[in-house]
């Protein structure tokens, strides 16, 4: 494991890929690698891109890679969105599109999926970012779908949060937008050649005007036209790329990187504790047969989940 992390730190793509697979599978020895890596992390600028399914986040990510490469930045991408073409279920076109980065050593794209445990996904994202970070990537893009609480939590790993909106997705999306309003550093109105883009712009602007910006950064709203108009699309993405850099510079200038870092390590500590405490405890309850006994008691209505949980806490928590 230590050899694997050493090689990843030298930029070895295969070692990094294997580490990320180990993160997905949550192999027990993983902590050896992650402990080894952790002191060397914190160099990269982490950018979270979130929004509803179908908002066009992966097309945007793809073009952001191009724009960042033009600025001589190396780029790592973690695609966490379960609906993203990057993470599978992709149309052929999407796969082909990603191939254009395949020969570029400055780009490393990986999808990330985990099965099971609560909090496991956020921990996997935190670890995945560390791997891309120690590989030496300047910019790390984390693409995630902003619908569930867990998905919104993931965004805590980012310095700069981009929320992608799309016109004409109706009032339901407005509610999502409201939930994401507080965490957005930059808004993108994607597919902005669609009907309703100006209306969405005005709505977003007026929502922003109602908020106040404690850290002195007013989130810009960037209109990005359909990818079917490649010229304007690329130009707008370049503008987005500039804003991303400007936001990072703002964090540096105003001494705000620290507060983002606190947000990040708080999330990581929480995720690690969850694995070491809760998941471990449940595992030992299952192994000792107590878990089954409790289920039986519940099914016979001899006890209730609240009483049982209190008893477990009394027995196993010091």
Residue closer to a second copy, measured from CB, 28 or 216: 28
Residue closer to a second copy, measured from CB, 13 or 295: 295
CB of residue 123 to a second copy, shortest distance in Å: 9
CB of residue 148 to a second copy, shortest distance in Å: 2
Residue closer to a second copy, measured from CB, 19 or 241: 19
CB of residue 239 to a second copy, shortest distance in Å: 25
CB of residue 264 to a second copy, shortest distance in Å: 9
Q: What are the structure tokens assigned to 272, written together?
A: 């690690």
Residue closer to a second copy, measured from CB, 246 or 275: 275
Residue of 77, 81, 51 whose CA lies nearest to 64: 77
Q: How far lies 21's CA from each of 7, 155, 279, in Å?
A: 15, 21, 20
CB of residue 140 to a second copy, shortest distance in Å: 18
Is the CB of residue 139 less than 8 Å from the CB of residue 15? no
Is the CB of residue 218 less than 8 Å from the CB of residue 194? no
CB of residue 243 to a second copy, shortest distance in Å: 25
Q: What is the DSSP string of 50-119?
A: EE-TTS-HHHHHHHHHHHHHHTT--EEEEE--TT-GGGSS--HHHHHHHHTTTT-TTEEEEE----SSTT
Residue closer to a second copy, measured from CB, 76 or 120: 120
Residue closer to a second copy, measured from CB, 174 or 232: 174
162/183 Cα distance (integer angstroms):
9
Residue of 151, 192, 152 whose CA lies nearest to 168: 192
Q: How many CB atoms lie within 10 A of CB 101?
A: 18
Task: Report angle CA 99, 100, 104 to the nearest 5 degrees.
Answer: 100
Residue closer to a second copy, measured from CB, 243 or 264: 264
Q: How many CB atoms lie within 10 A of CB 71?
A: 13
- DSSP label of 40: G
63/222 Cα distance (integer angstroms):
15
Residue closer to a second copy, measured from CB, 230 or 305: 305
Beta bridge mates, 83: none
């Amino acid at each position: 494991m230590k050899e694997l992390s050493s090689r990843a730190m030298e930029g070895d793509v295969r070692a990094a890929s294997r580490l990320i697979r180990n993160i997905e599978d949550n192999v027990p020895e993983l902590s050896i690698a992650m402990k080894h890596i952790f002191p060397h992390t914190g160099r990269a600028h982490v950018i979270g891109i979130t929004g509803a399914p179908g908002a066009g986040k992966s097309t945007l990510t793809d073009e952001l890679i191009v724009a960042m490469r033009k600025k001589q930045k190396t780029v790592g991408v973690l695609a966490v969105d379960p609906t993203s073409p990057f993470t599978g279920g992709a149309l052929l076109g999407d796969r082909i599109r990603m191939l254009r980065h395949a020969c570029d050593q400055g780009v490393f794209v990986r999808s990330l999926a985990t099965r099971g445990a609560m909090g496991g996904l956020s921990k996997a994202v935190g670890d995945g970012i560390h791997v891309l970070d120690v590989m030496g990537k300047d910019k790390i893009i984390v693409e995630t779908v902003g619908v569930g609480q867990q998905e919104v939590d993931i965004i805590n790993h980012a310095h700069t949060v981009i929320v992608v909106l799309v016109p004409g997705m109706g009032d339901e999306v407005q509610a999502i937008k409201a939930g994401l309003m507080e965490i957005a550093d930059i808004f993108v109105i994607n597919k902005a050649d669609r009907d309703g883009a100006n209306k969405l712009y005005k709505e977003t602007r007026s929502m922003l005007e109602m908020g106040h910006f404690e850290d002195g950064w007013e989130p810009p709203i960037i209109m990005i036209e359909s990818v079917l108009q490649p010229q304007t699309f690329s130009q707008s993405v370049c503008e987005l790329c500039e804003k991303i850099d400007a936001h990072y510079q703002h964090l540096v200038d105003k001494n705000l990187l620290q507060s983002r870092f606190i947000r990040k390590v708080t999330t990581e500590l929480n995720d690690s504790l969850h694995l070491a405490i809760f998941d471990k405890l449940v595992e030992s309850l299952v192994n000792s047969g107590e878990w089954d006994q409790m289920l039986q008691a519940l099914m016979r209505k001899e006890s209730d989940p609240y009483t049982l949980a209190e008893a477990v806490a009394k027995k196993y928590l010091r």
